[in-house]
């Protein structure tokens, strides 16, 4: 087979290294003389223990065994919980932080108890097996019902009823009044089951210490260098300027890479103590038990309608499984993210929600693609569909009647969120036309003639993308080597920022993207920036880059004035060019300026403050179910999305593909299942955990309907998480539509063949 050189350039700047195997993921590089770590994890869901580590310490090749005593001696605190809320009467949340290593009690299978450091990974793993641990097992709880039952075993002394907090948002009295006068009401309970995030690169950490400078270095996949650094300092108590965080290529993150875990800080401690580099590369089985899990929410939605079908109120009663401890993001998921867009795309005069955040003997839960927002979109759009069918209304007409209209913007929701803009009806009409809504009956009939159940589901999601934790995003631009180099904090984990940011500069300054380089990472301590999360980096950092571009043009204005012998005000700026206001022969492009000797070394900082945006869209799915087997085929999928200003169209659609398919994974099979009696994770590897595979989505149509936002300089909205928010409800509505003739009105994901077969043959028809 002959390799052929093609003149066509690669699509992304990232691609050359990634398609040739020269990318640098964390486990792809290591220092000379690196030691290897293995983690001793408990295999009990709930137990007290006493451990004897002496045989581990004496095993061949072992350099150190770190236990809870070492962590205490080092003065480390527990892992970080990033958000707390209060109950409606100001009741404080009970926050139970996870210890770096368990001391005398374990609360979930997989909880780390010790770290063994040895000359090789094999010696470390072998030594870990020699630990002698006596357990006194305790009953465990893995469901809401068991955790909150009277007399249930309590995980934490401080958390009565295994409750962290019951949070409320909105106006309960107004909602109650609306329900009292409603002509029609409906309710539906939606379970967004626990998932394993499973980015393809397993979690990995390397740490080394430079005694000369006193710096401890950490290399790990992360979606936020500064937030990671903040957590490291919070846990270790070490000065921020004694820690350096490094990341190069990151093999997917989806919310998971935002947090410091036990392995990070233990390796930092080991590197400093032993003064030798240490690495830990998580195995996939290990990451199933130690990466934070996602979703694990139950949302019970209620809707009140007047006689015409106008929505009077929506209420949610939510159960939010935090897992065994409060880590990082779980409270934010259960509180802010389930409240912020509670009314979806509809005019809803009264809103109220209650979220019960509780503890179970399971892996702690944190952010996973959308972090509560896809779950909420799923619940709202199931609720609206369910209400329409229950009361004999057309689901599309019901949505149309209740949409917030273009004239209503800016629109303040009943619980205080301000949506800037949107054209929901126009977007839905695109999706209806694209998906040939007129031909549905024919397709349904054709499927029936083949003995198959046909279902069509439509959903309209609206997201509130991340507002960011830092006050602004900054970027440093430097003219060097005949090009423009951009430095910023926010790194990528597959989003193609090196390419998109070059596109932005190319658009602003007419500078060919080959001459633009984007480097993310810790580049001095002077820049401020956000993590890559909440779908916000493109518009957050991208807006700072637009600002940087205008600063470069302003920087050149006095130079041009001097050169042309005119006043600076007489120099106009347009499309990456300086133009004399009256003499058309006088002009210069940014590119030509950059080629001059004087440009080299010019350095400016661009910045922008960008808050949340409101990406939205209408997704339609059509399915056919074989009643003999319960197998559900997705036969058509149409997405019409308003993502605001589009920078890189192909990458945008790629993000939608990925998001939609993560939703399909949840819809069709993904489920982290715990045994109710023993608390063992039953789906603990890719052998038993469903992962979407090639072919899960083979017919996909995308329609971009951009309504640029004024909420950031770029005009773009968050893209990354929207696919999930569209596909979860569209798929659920389609599957239930297919089963409705059999009397099924609600079913929970995953829609596995077994579950669907059971519904079809359960004798309801």
Q: Please, which residue, 250 or 333, has the CB nearer to other proteins? A: 250
3 binds other proteins (CB under 8 A): yes
Q: Please, which residue, 61 or 161, has the CB nearer to other proteins? A: 61
Residue 687, CB-side half-sphere exposure with 13 Å CA sphere: 6
Interacting residues with other proteins between 594 and 633 (CB under 8 A): none
C-beta of residue 544 within 8 angstroms of C-beta of residue 607: yes
3-class SS shares of the chain: helix, strand, coil, % to 5: 35, 25, 45
Q: Please, which residue, 189 or 284, has the CB nearer to other proteins? A: 284
> Least distance in Å: CB of 252 to other proteins?
4
Measured CA angle at 700 (ends 695, 702), to 5 deg: 150
> Least distance in Å: CB of 123 to other proteins?
12
> Quick one: DSSP state of residue 670?
-
284 binds other proteins (CB under 8 A): yes
When binding is defined by CB under 8 A, the residue of 87, 161, 230, 252 that contacts other proteins is 252
Q: Please, which residue, 27 or 490, has the CB nearer to other proteins? A: 27
In 3-state terms, what secondary structure has residue 623? Answer: strand
When binding is defined by CB under 8 A, the residue of 173, 212, 307, 694 that contacts other proteins is 694
> Least distance in Å: CB of 500 to other proteins?
12
C-beta of residue 46 within 8 angstroms of C-beta of residue 138: yes
498 binds other proteins (CB under 8 A): no
> Least distance in Å: CB of 149 to other proteins?
36
> Least distance in Å: CB of 237 to other proteins?
33
For residue 291, give both structure tokens.
Answer: 């990466």
Q: Spell out a b/e string for 205-214, using b for 16 or more CB atoms within 10 Å of the CB, else e.
A: bbbbbeeeee
Location of structure tokens 């939609």: 660
Part in contact with other proteins (CB under 8 A); list of ranges 73-81, 318-326, 651-659, 667-675: 651-659
Q: What is the C-alpha to C-alpha distance for residues 144 and 153, in angstroms, rounded to an integer?
A: 13
When binding is defined by CB under 8 A, the residue of 433, 686, 762, 764 that contacts other proteins is 686
When binding is defined by CB under 8 A, the residue of 70, 249, 642, 737 that contacts other proteins is 249
368 binds other proteins (CB under 8 A): no
650 binds other proteins (CB under 8 A): yes
Nearest to 371 by CA among 496, 291, 465: 465
495 binds other proteins (CB under 8 A): yes
When binding is defined by CB under 8 A, the residue of 186, 662, 683, 709 that contacts other proteins is 662
When binding is defined by CB under 8 A, the residue of 285, 437, 551, 680 that contacts other proteins is 285
Angle at which helices 225-236 and 262-274 cross, to 10°: 70
For residue 666, give both structure tokens.
Answer: 């949840």
Q: Please, which residue, 318 or 532, has the CB nearer to other proteins? A: 532
Interacting residues with other proteins between 23 and 42 (CB under 8 A): 23, 25, 27-29
When binding is defined by CB under 8 A, the residue of 228, 314, 339, 660 that contacts other proteins is 660
In 3-state terms, what secondary structure has residue 647? Answer: coil
Q: Please, which residue, 16 or 58, has the CB nearer to other proteins? A: 16
When binding is defined by CB under 8 A, the residue of 698, 701, 740, 765 that contacts other proteins is 698
110 binds other proteins (CB under 8 A): no
200 binds other proteins (CB under 8 A): yes
* Cα 310 versus chain centre, distance: 33
> Quick one: DSSP state of residue 717?
-
521 binds other proteins (CB under 8 A): no
HEC letters along 389-441: HHCCCCHHHHHHHHECCHHHCCEECCCCCEECCCCHHHHHHHHHHHCCHHHHH
Interacting residues with other proteins between 213 and 242 (CB under 8 A): none
Q: What is the C-alpha to C-alpha distance for residues 199 and 665, in angstroms, rounded to an integer?
A: 13
Q: What is the C-alpha to C-alpha distance for residues 304 and 316, in angstroms, rounded to an integer?
A: 12
700 binds other proteins (CB under 8 A): yes
104 binds other proteins (CB under 8 A): no
Q: What is the C-alpha to C-alpha distance for residues 164 and 65, in angstroms, rounded to an integer?
A: 33
Alpha-carbon torsion angle 157, 100, 248, 483, nearest 10: 70
When binding is defined by CB under 8 A, the residue of 137, 148, 283, 550 that contacts other proteins is 283
Q: Please, which residue, 21 or 565, has the CB nearer to other proteins? A: 21
Q: Spell out a b/e string for 567-577, using b for 16 or more CB atoms within 10 Å of the CB, else e.
A: eeebbebeebb
Part in contact with other proteins (CB under 8 A); list of ranges 424-432, 597-605, 680-688, 745-753: 680-688
Q: What is the C-alpha to C-alpha distance for residues 621 and 703, in angstroms, rounded to an integer?
A: 14
> Least distance in Å: CB of 293 to other proteins?
15
Q: Please, which residue, 423 or 493, has the CB nearer to other proteins? A: 493
248 binds other proteins (CB under 8 A): no
11 binds other proteins (CB under 8 A): yes
Q: Please, which residue, 354 or 702, has the CB nearer to other proteins? A: 702
When binding is defined by CB under 8 A, the residue of 405, 567, 691, 754 that contacts other proteins is 691
Q: What is the C-alpha to C-alpha distance for residues 212 and 458, in angstroms, rounded to an integer?
A: 62
Part in contact with other proteins (CB under 8 A); list of ranges 222-230, 336-344, 559-567, 694-702: 694-702
692 binds other proteins (CB under 8 A): yes
- Contacts from 177-183 at CB under 8 Å and sequence distance 24+? 177/350, 178/304, 178/312, 178/313, 178/349, 178/350, 179/302, 179/304, 179/312, 179/313, 179/315, 181/312, 182/304, 182/305, 182/306, 182/312, 182/313, 183/305, 183/306, 183/307
Part in contact with other proteins (CB under 8 A); list of ranges 305-313, 346-354, 617-625, 691-699: 691-699
Nearest to 711 by CA among 498, 417, 500: 417
Q: Which residues contact 446 (CB under 8 A, 6 or more apart)?
A: 454
Part in contact with other proteins (CB under 8 A); list of ranges 155-163, 384-392, 585-593, 657-665: 657-665
Residues that bind other proteins (CB under 8 A): 1-6, 8, 10-12, 14-23, 25, 27-29, 198-202, 249-252, 254, 281, 283-285, 493-496, 650-651, 653-654, 657-662, 664, 685-687, 691-698, 700
């Amino acid at each position: 087979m002959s390799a052929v050189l093609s003149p066509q350039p690669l699509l992304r700047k990232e691609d050359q290294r990634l398609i040739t195997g020269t990318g640098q993921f964390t486990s792809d590089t290591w220092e000379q003389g690196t030691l290897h770590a293995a983690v001793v994890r408990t295999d009990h869901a709930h137990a007290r223990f006493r451990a004897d580590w002496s045989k581990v310490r004496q095993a061949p090749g072992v350099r150190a065994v770190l236990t809870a005593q070492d962590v205490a001696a080092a003065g480390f605190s527990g892992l970080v919980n990033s958000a707390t809320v209060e109950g409606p009467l100001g009741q404080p949340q009970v926050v139970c932080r996870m210890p770096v290593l368990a001391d005398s009690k374990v609360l979930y299978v997989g909880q780390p108890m010790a770290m063994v450091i040895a000359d090789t990974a094999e010696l470390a793993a072998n030594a870990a097996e020699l630990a002698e641990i006596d357990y006194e097992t305790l009953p465990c709880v893995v469901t809401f019902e068991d955790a909150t039952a009277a007399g249930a075993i309590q995980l934490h002394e401080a958390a009565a009823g295994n409750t962290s907090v019951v949070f409320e948002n909105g106006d309960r009295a107004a909602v109650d009044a609306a329900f009292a006068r409603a002509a029609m009401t409906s309710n539906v309970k939606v379970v967004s089951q626990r998932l394993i995030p499973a980015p393809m690169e397993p979690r990995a950490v390397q740490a080394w210490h430079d005694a000369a400078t006193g710096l401890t270095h950490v290399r790990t996949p992360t979606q936020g260098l500064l937030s990671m650094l903040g957590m490291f300092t919070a846990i270790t108590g070490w000065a921020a300027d004694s820690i350096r965080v490094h990341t190069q290529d990151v093999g997917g993150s989806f919310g998971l890479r935002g947090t410091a875990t036990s392995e990070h800080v233990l390796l930092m401690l080991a590197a400093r103590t032993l003064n030798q580099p240490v690495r830990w590369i998580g195995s996939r089985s290990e990451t199933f038990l130690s990466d934070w899990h996602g979703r694990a929410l139950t949302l019970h939605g209620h809707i009140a309608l007047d006689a015409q079908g106008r929505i009077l109120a929506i209420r949610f009663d939510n159960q939010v499984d935090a897992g065994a401890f409060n880590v990082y993001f779980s409270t934010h998921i259960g509180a802010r993210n389930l409240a912020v867009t509670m009314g979806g795309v509809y005019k809803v005069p009264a809103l109220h929600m209650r979220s019960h955040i509780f503890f179970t003997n399971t892996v702690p839960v944190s952010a996973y693609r959308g972090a509560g927002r896809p779950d909420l979109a799923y619940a709202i759009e199931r609720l609206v569909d369910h209400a329409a069918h229950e009361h004999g209304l057309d689901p599309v007409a019901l949505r149309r009647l209740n949409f917030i209209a273009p004239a209503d913007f800016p629109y303040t929701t009943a619980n205080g969120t301000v949506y800037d803009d949107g054209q929901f009806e126009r977007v839905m009409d695109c999706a209806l036309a694209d998906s040939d809504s007129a031909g549905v009956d024919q397709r349904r009939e054709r499927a029936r003639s083949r003995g198959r159940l046909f279902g069509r589901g439509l959903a309209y999601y609206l997201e509130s993308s991340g507002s960011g934790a830092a006050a602004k995003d900054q970027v440093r631009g430097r003219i060097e080597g005949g090009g423009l180099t951009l430095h910023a904090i926010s790194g990528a984990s597959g989003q193609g920022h090196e390419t998109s940011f070059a596109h932005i500069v190319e658009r602003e300054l007419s500078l060919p993207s080959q001459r633009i380089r984007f480097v993310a990472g810790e580049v001095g301590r002077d820049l401020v920036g956000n993590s890559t999360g909440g779908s916000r980096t493109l518009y957050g950092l991208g807006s700072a880059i637009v600002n940087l571009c205008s600063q470069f043009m302003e920087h050149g204005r006095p130079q041009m004035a001097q050169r042309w012998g005119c006043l600076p005000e007489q120099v106009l700026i347009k499309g990456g060019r300086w133009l004399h206001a009256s003499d058309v022969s006088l002009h210069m492009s940014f590119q030509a300026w950059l080629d001059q000797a004087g440009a080299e070394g010019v350095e400016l900082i661009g910045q922008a403050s960008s808050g949340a945006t409101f990406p939205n869209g209408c997704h339609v799915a059509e399915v056919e179910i074989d009643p003999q087997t319960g197998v559900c085929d997705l036969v058509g999928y149409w997405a019409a999305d308003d993502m605001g200003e589009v920078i890189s169209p192909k990458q945008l659609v790629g993000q939608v593909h990925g998001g939609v398919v993560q939703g399909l994974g949840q819809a069709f099979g993904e489920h982290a299942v715990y045994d109710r009696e023993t608390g063992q994770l039953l789906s603990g590897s890719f052998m038993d955990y469903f992962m979407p595979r090639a072919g899960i989505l083979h017919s996909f149509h995308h329609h971009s309907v951009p309504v640029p936002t004024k909420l950031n300089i770029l005009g773009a909205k968050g893209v990354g998480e929207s696919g999930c928010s569209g596909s979860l409800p569209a798929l659920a509505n389609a599957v239930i539509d297919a089963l409705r003739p059999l009397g099924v009105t609600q079913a929970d994901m995953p829609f596995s063949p077994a579950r669907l077969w059971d519904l079809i043959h359960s004798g309801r028809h």
